[in-house]
Amino acid sequence: MTQTMLVRDAIVVTVDREGQIFDNGAVVWRGDRIIDVGPTEEVTARWPDSDRVINGSGKAVVPGFVNTHMHSLNSSIRGMADDALGPLWLNTFINPMHQAATADDAYAMARLTYFEALRSGTTCGLDMARFMDRCADAAAELGFRVVVSPYAANVGGYEYFETFEGNERLVKDRHNSADGRVKVWFGIEMITYSTRDHYLKARRAADHYGVGIHLHANCEVNECRYAREHYGAPPLELFYQWGILGSDVVAAHCVVLTESEVNHLVETGTSVAHCPQSGMKVALGTAPVPELLSSGVNVCLGTDGGAENNAVNMVETLKFTALMHKLNKLDPTVMPAEKVLELATMGGARALGLDKDIGSLEVGKKADLVIFDLRHPYWTPIVRGPNCNIVSQLVYSAQGDSVDTVVVDGRVLVEGGQLLTADQGEVIERANRVALDMADRREVFAQSRDREFDSHF
């Protein structure tokens, strides 16, 4: 029998078109869908016989975050690939990691990454990794909502990456699995790894199967130089000419853009996944987000991977997104908190074509929500009423460990800060064993890597 669940007496941040916030609000869901949102007194009067009531006193309810650029496999080298220049970073850690990886490694790291994401309030992710059938298994097991898009390449020397044919099989086998929570897109590593033919195949196949494309684009100056030297134009200009871009495409990073390329993003409805931490950590730059937004580009947020960011924590990404652009513009009014939260929720939902189902707390949408415990010093004080500061506190002050409860598809996955769908101790222990074993295998490949230029994010 489908249960009706209600959380009451909480601050409810809906992120709907009106930006409604209920100081003392309630959310009700039956099965996987929200059926009521509003003031507690009114909502509870309409649903007096709910099967389960969650006390939201001292808590806030927000839509689950949508992380639109993750690399779950990269969690295997977290803390082992830091403070290094590009060639050393790539040749010693990144590419050898991919060469050494097995399907079991991918599964263990996906479980770890999705657990970390859930624990800090992310309910949906766009993951680019390898052996993504096993990543789909991990998502199904934990209850995470995910779009998987394999690292795929077809340039010689990168045979250890996934192939277009393997990506197509994954679409056929796993798209809309796990009650629709697992979706599969076509993924392309980047232009230094793939030919024009690969991009065209992915575009035709995405149209045929009705799925999207996830790719890296304009991640750094060297990549753009490579594209100009080999094809005569920077990556996004080429993708526009080749007919790759569209509203079903999420382009990650986009830190080096021409005015023409920005116009192409607007014209085609292509989304940009902004990853502020990795742009700073690897020192490659940042997307011109204020300009993209003012031009009409849909911008969403991503954490990137464990090698590039060291965290899969969207709460942290909120703050970095706001502060980075204020500093770049020397303007504290740039990227207000409300806008940053919208990028992390509805912006991501739009990018994945899921905005009718997730991204805000509204009747008819999926019950994907996060409950924060406000009883922490960094959340204090909470001001209610006309000057409510809950969104500012979330963006500038909150920490991921204040997540108390996470619900995906109406199912409680995290409660009291504890993962309910797997033994979190076992998830961590297994990931530790796998990472250490991979480190030994990685050394074999690291000794033979001597490429002067490469790229991978």
Give tens-digit pLDDT for 10-25: 999 999 999 999 999 9
Residue pair 360/346 in contact by the 8 Å Cβ criterion: yes
Q: In which band, very low, low, confident or very high, does the pLDDT at 450 lie, cut at 50, 70 and 90?
A: very low
Residue range 301-308: average pLDDT?
Answer: 95
Q: Given CATH 3.20.20.140, say whether it is the number of domain 65-351.
A: yes
Does residue 444 surpass a pLDDT of 90? no
Q: Going edge to edge, which strands form the sheet with 186-188?
A: 186-188, 213-217, 249-253, 271-274, 299-301
Structure tokens at 344: 């992390």
Does residue 439 surpass a pLDDT of 50? yes
Structure tokens at 148: 């998987």
Q: What integer best gives the mean pLDDT of the chain?
A: 95
Q: In which band, very low, low, confident or very high, does the pLDDT at 248 lie, cut at 50, 70 and 90?
A: very high
Residue range 76-81: average pLDDT?
Answer: 93
Q: Where are the domains of the chain?
A: 4-63+358-419, 65-351
**199 three-class SS:** helix
- Let me know if the fold of 4-63+358-419 is the same as that of 65-351: no
Cα radius of gyration (the chain): 21
Cis peptide before 386 (omega within 30 of 0): no
Residue range 137-157: average pLDDT?
Answer: 96
Which pLDDT score is estimated for 446? 78
CATH topology of domain 4-63+358-419: Urease, subunit C; domain 1 (2.30.40)
Distance from the Cα of residue 171 to its chain's centroid: 20
Buried (b) or exposed (e) across 383-411, using 16+ Cβ within 10 A? eeeeebebbbbbbebbebebbbbbbbbbb
Q: How far apart are CA 380 and CA 366, in angstroms?
A: 30
Which pLDDT score is estimated for 297? 98
What lies within 8 Å, CB to CB, of 96 at 6+ separation is 442, 443, 444, 445, 446, 449
Residue range 259-277: average pLDDT?
Answer: 98
Q: In which band, very low, low, confident or very high, does the pLDDT at 452 lie, cut at 50, 70 and 90?
A: very low
pTM value is 0.96
Q: How far apart are CA 349 and CA 353, in angstroms?
A: 6
Which pLDDT score is estimated for 447? 57
Does residue 44 surpass a pLDDT of 80? yes
**100 three-class SS:** helix
Residue range 400-408: average pLDDT?
Answer: 98
Give tens-digit pLDDT for 148-199: 999 999 998 888 999 999 999 999 999 999 999 999 999 999 999 999 999 9
Q: How far apart are CA 428 and CA 75, in angstroms?
A: 11
Counting Cα atoms < 13 Å in the Cβ hemisphere of 340 gives 26
Which pLDDT score is estimated for 183? 98
Which pLDDT score is estimated for 449? 45
